[in-house]
Chains A and B, each alone.
Chain A
Amino acid sequence: MTAGNETPDESPFVTPYPHYDVLQKWDSPSFNDATRRALTQRLTEVPRRRFFDAERYTRLRAVVDCVLPQPERSEAERIPVEAWIDAQLEANQGSGTRYVGTPTQREAWRRGLDALEAEAHARHGSGFADLSPEQQTALLKAVDNGAVDQAHWQGVHAQRFFREILLKDAVKIYYAHPAAWSEMGFGGPAAPRGYVRLGPDDRDPWEAAEERPPQPVRGLP
């Protein structure tokens, strides 16, 4: 089963946990000082752009908004995934793995973003950031299926870049944000208190209450 072959379901995500905010536990025994320090930095110190030039950064933002759309959030509430991708590249903090035939992560990101731009121009005559959301989604699906013009990719394996670098880096940042923990009903930070009730359909008072069932996913069998 590969979601990439299905027609995408573009109706927006709606959280099953509308009244849950993991940050309400900030002063509770579920948070310790180490966690508060880490999250204070994440929530208050969004890194400035330093690695990419302005044009690539705008394109990166457009890609991020396509792979993790957040239409329900204001600009101030939005999880700025692109800022941390830029910071990670500036710090040159890798993942510990460079696959044979893949350039360094900095180079892979540069070439990958440029290839997306070249693909957009070849298909639609305009840049990636100027495409409609439907065109952007279709283009990224094509990249994931390897239906690309190799000449644009400067030796980068398109699907591997998309899944192993672009998507992985993006979700590592998005799902490390308290707003993402809240929307999925994740318990979030849990030291020193932990949990007491472990059984099915059971939860502690400090866990999220599911108020509506999760939405069906069309890609799922």
Chain B
Amino acid sequence: MPGKNNSVPKVQRFVAILWPSFVVSGIATVLFFTAFDPDEVIGCVGGWDISRMGYYSVGFFLFWLLTSLNSVLTCYFLKPCSKS
């Protein structure tokens, strides 16, 4: 695997990171915004003047950022340590 790792096409690595995180962030977005109405939450602390649709979208991409970070770390730790 270590030697072969470079032969994995770049596209596959991107998809392996972005695709599962996309799916999970979709689920997370639904659960989160079912429990919390952005208008009410933001109304308490004061926020930007954007629509609910905007909050949902921003929320989705924030989740996607976090979940892909997770995938990146998983991929990173999958690499075996170099044996010196």
Say whether A and B bind each other.
Answer: no
Interface positions of A (Cβ within 8 A of B): none
Interface positions of B (Cβ within 8 A of A): none
